[in-house]
Chain A
Amino acid sequence: MTIRFTQDHEWIKLDGDVATVGITDYAQQALGDVVFVEVPEAGRELTKGKDAAVVESVKAASEVYAPVDGTVVEGNGAVADEPSLVNTDPEGEGWFFKMKIKDMAQFEALMDEAAYKSFIAGL
């Protein structure tokens, strides 16, 4: 299983030919208590860098961007029902959606864990 990160604080984890996407621990801390999550429906075509999901805290509304091009396989209904999962387990149960990646090169070009850690250290 390989994990990659974007500068917009999404993580994407590859397992076989399906990737899971969520927001990082750093992002959930910055947002504060998450009160609402909207996840995409299966079948939706996503474009890298464009809106894919919505996450809201009390005082901030943010778009979660697609880290790469692809097609949604599944949205996480559990996180839509219980948004606090994003705070308690952002890189586990608090995932947003699963997708099929169109172009593996886009995935490979994203930051690895070490690169992301040094990226947020510099913020």
Chain B
Amino acid sequence: MAMNNQGRDSTPHAVAVADELVTFTGNKALQQEEALIFELDNPGAVGVDLEAPVTTKTRLDGVKTRASVGLPSLAEPDVVRHYTRLSQKNFAIDTTMYPLGSCTMKHNPRLNEKMARLPGFSDIHPLQPVETVQGALELIDQLAHWLKTLTGMPAIAMSPGAGAHGELCGLMSIHAALDARGESHRRRVLVPESAHGTNPATAAFCGFTVDTIPAEENGRVSVEAVKAKLGDDVACIMLTNPNTCGLFEPQIREIADAVHAAGGYFYCDGANYNAIVGRVRPADLGVDAMHINLHKTFSTPHGGGGPGSGPVVLSDALAPYAPLPFVVHGKNGFDLVEQAADAKGAKPFGRLKGFHGQMGMFVRALAYILSHGADGLRQVASDAVLNANYLLANLKDVMSASFDGPCMHEALFDDRFLKGTGVTPLDFAKAMIDEGYHPMTMYFPLVVHGALLIEPTETESKQTLDRFIATMRHLAEKAKAGDLAHFQASPRLTPRKRLDETQAARKPVLRWVKPATPASAPAGVAQAAE
């Protein structure tokens, strides 16, 4: 059997903790217990006032109507309080440093939110006549222009809905280009073992086979290792740069040249583009396609896991295959090409999404680009890299850095510094939570054992970094001093302690079901008060 040796604790440790104050309600002052919305049902209440229907006449062609849906009823104050209380159970960039490697949790400027909510952007329909949405098309065109300029690439597909969707767009462009060349036999995709899981998943989704390139001792991909895998059945290489170890691939030009010489394309995973924006143009690295996570580099909010946006820049070789729709300059202003027949010589591979892409994210990203400007964007990359190296320099003597510096925008550590302590990376991360920090990315990338990937981003101040460094040093020393129980019992100050993921997966409960007899008190409160 194939085995992943990086499995981690999934059931809580049984650790006794000191007595704590037990309240009647189960609440702990600012930490409120909150039942499910369904358990707060207040039959007869309503949170929206609607006028009565103007007619009772129906035209339903005999189709049946439903008796009930089963939704709870609440007035607005109770709904607002419910979701506000839930929000208070979350860590967020607004409340704490959130150094989740590879995810780029940087400040989300509120100006961008305000701009996205201008009715001229938020209250226009995707199927309005194009003459009534010229400003929207111009905005898409402007953002496309700056993304092309920043990356040095000649073309862009704006519609992909997220990074992984952008990967799909890039690989489908490559697929179409190969078919057009009459080289449909090229179906092997080279993916380094350090790659994001989305890379092999996307390649397989497109019907390609995945061939893994091993990482070198220094965390990089070598041109020799790539050359050893090249052949006339290779469609492309998918390479993340800077890579998932937080390192720039120094042989990237040679790798691109070798892949091109062998007739393949170079797909660059642009998840870490924030480390080089304004300082390096991917076009100058030999890239044929690269997605840009607007929610990372250009700081559209992560929103608890989306929505994202993943435009893909394309080389001349791939540009004709970009998907529908796209904005063009027409006789009377901007126009939208929605049909292959109108694509004027281009051969779009199809359509990836309903309508025209994540407009709300485009507005935010353009606001971000204009706010930063040429000097600010370059400074974004510089400060992101400076902050990561500062952490690396201040932590490498107490934590085990996986590779020699300098790093780019994130610093990779592994679990060697915990050897013999009994503390796992997960335990260490949970102790960070009680100290008020969101943990870093753990157990990724897979090329080192017990990875701890720290990405501070450029929007953290030196004061914040210094406090974080002091905390990490304190925890590392505490682990080495043998205080295993502290780590295994962490976190203790959160609304919930460690959760039993084994139980969740063995007997999945994926929705609320109305109990046969209603409980006298909401379940969360009742349990908490026990």
Whether A and B touch directly in their complex, counting CB atoms under 8 A apart, is answered as yes
Interface of A with B (CB < 8 Å)? 8-10, 23, 27, 30-33, 35-36, 55-65, 83-84
Please give, as numbers and ranges, the residues of chain A lying within 8 Å of B494 by CB-CB distance: none
**Taking CB as reference atom, which chain B residue is nearest A52?**
B1
A-B contact pairs, 25 of them (CB 8 A): A8-B1, A9-B1, A9-B3, A27-B3, A30-B3, A30-B5, A30-B7, A31-B7, A32-B10, A33-B502, A33-B506, A35-B502, A35-B505, A35-B506, A57-B10, A58-B10, A58-B504, A59-B6, A60-B7, A61-B4, A62-B1, A62-B2, A62-B3, A63-B1, A83-B506
Contacts A8-B2, A30-B7, A32-B8 known; 9 new A-B pairs at CB < 8 A: A32-B9, A56-B505, A58-B7, A58-B504, A58-B505, A60-B6, A61-B4, A62-B3, A65-B2
B42 within 8 A of A: no
Please give, as numbers and ranges, the residues of chain A lying within 8 Å of B132 by CB-CB distance: none
**Taking CB as reference atom, which chain A residue is nearest B11?**
A33
* Interface residue ranges of B477-530 to A (CB < 8 Å): 501-502, 504-506
Give A79 to B171 CA distance when docked, in angstroms.
39
Give A62 to B502 CA distance when docked, in angstroms.
16
Main secondary structure, interface of B, reads loop
Please give, as numbers and ranges, the residues of chain A lying within 8 Å of B2 by CB-CB distance: 8, 62-63, 65
Contact flag A59-B10 (CB < 8 Å), given A35-B506, A36-B505:
yes
Give A40 to B24 CA distance when docked, in angstroms.
52
Contact flag A33-B3 (CB < 8 Å), given A58-B505, A83-B506:
no
Q: Say yes or no: A58 contacts B502, CB within 8 Å.
A: yes
Closest 7 A/B residue pairs (Cβ): A35-B505, A58-B10, A60-B4, A33-B502, A64-B1, A32-B7, A58-B501
**Taking CB as reference atom, which chain B residue is nearest A23?**
B1
**Taking CB as reference atom, which chain B residue is nearest A29?**
B7
A34, chain B: closest CB distance, angstroms: 9
Q: Which of B3, B9, B501, B506 has the most CB of A within 10 A?
A: B3
B408, chain A: closest CB distance, angstroms: 27
Contact flag A55-B1 (CB < 8 Å), given A32-B7, A33-B11:
yes
Give A32 to B426 CA distance when docked, in angstroms.
14
Please give, as numbers and ranges, the residues of chain B lying within 8 Å of A84 by CB-CB distance: 506
Give A56 to B501 CA distance when docked, in angstroms.
13
Q: Say yes or no: A57 contacts B7, CB within 8 Å.
A: yes
Q: Say yes or no: B8 contacts A59, CB within 8 Å.
A: yes
A37, chain B: closest CB distance, angstroms: 11
Give A40 to B481 CA distance when docked, in angstroms.
49
A42, chain B: closest CB distance, angstroms: 21
Q: Which of B1, B8, B443, B505 has the most CB of A within 10 A?
A: B1
Contact flag A62-B4 (CB < 8 Å), given A32-B10, A33-B10, A33-B11:
yes
The tally of residues in B whose CB lies under 8 Å from a CB in A reads: 17
**Taking CB as reference atom, which chain B residue is nearest A56?**
B505
B98, chain A: closest CB distance, angstroms: 22
**Taking CB as reference atom, which chain B residue is nearest A31?**
B7
Please give, as numbers and ranges, the residues of chain A lying within 8 Å of B502 by CB-CB distance: 33, 35, 58
In the complex, per-residue mask of B1-36: 1 if CB is within 8 Å of any chain A CB, else 0: 111111111110000000000000000000000000
**Taking CB as reference atom, which chain A residue is nearest B504?**
A58
B502, chain A: closest CB distance, angstroms: 4
A22, chain B: closest CB distance, angstroms: 10
Q: Say yes or no: B7 contacts A59, CB within 8 Å.
A: yes
Q: Which of A10, A33, A56, A61 has the most CB of B within 10 A?
A: A33
Please give, as numbers and ranges, the residues of chain A lying within 8 Å of B11 by CB-CB distance: 33
B425, chain A: closest CB distance, angstroms: 12
Please give, as numbers and ranges, the residues of chain B lying within 8 Å of A60 by CB-CB distance: 3-4, 6-7
Give A63 to B504 CA distance when docked, in angstroms.
22
B212, chain A: closest CB distance, angstroms: 16
B511, chain A: closest CB distance, angstroms: 19
Q: Say yes or no: B4 contacts A27, CB within 8 Å.
A: no
B298, chain A: closest CB distance, angstroms: 31
Please give, as numbers and ranges, the residues of chain B lying within 8 Å of A64 by CB-CB distance: 1
A90, chain B: closest CB distance, angstroms: 12
Give A84 to B502 CA distance when docked, in angstroms.
10
Please give, as numbers and ranges, the residues of chain B lying within 8 Å of A8 by CB-CB distance: 1-3
Give A60 to B7 CA distance when docked, in angstroms.
6
Give A75 to B73 CA distance when docked, in angstroms.
48
Contact flag A31-B3 (CB < 8 Å), given A57-B10, A59-B8:
yes
Give A55 to B1 CA distance when docked, in angstroms.
9
Give A52 to B8 CA distance when docked, in angstroms.
25
Q: Which of A32, A35, A57, A58 has the most CB of B within 10 A?
A: A58
B451, chain A: closest CB distance, angstroms: 13
Please give, as numbers and ranges, the residues of chain A lying within 8 Å of B506 by CB-CB distance: 33, 35-36, 83-84
Please give, as numbers and ranges, the residues of chain A lying within 8 Å of B6 by CB-CB distance: 59-60
**Taking CB as reference atom, which chain B residue is nearest A26?**
B3
Give A106 to B7 CA distance when docked, in angstroms.
31
A105, chain B: closest CB distance, angstroms: 22
**Taking CB as reference atom, which chain B residue is nearest A6?**
B1
**Taking CB as reference atom, which chain B residue is nearest A35?**
B505
Give A27 to B3 CA distance when docked, in angstroms.
8
Contact of A27 among B1, B443, B501, B505 (CB under 8 A): B1
Give A58 to B443 CA distance when docked, in angstroms.
14
**Taking CB as reference atom, which chain B residue is nearest A67?**
B1
Please give, as numbers and ranges, the residues of chain B lying within 8 Å of A9 by CB-CB distance: 1, 3
**Taking CB as reference atom, which chain A residue is nearest B5?**
A30
Give A60 to B505 CA distance when docked, in angstroms.
12
Give A56 to B443 CA distance when docked, in angstroms.
17
**Taking CB as reference atom, which chain B residue is nearest A9?**
B1
Give A93 to B21 CA distance when docked, in angstroms.
45
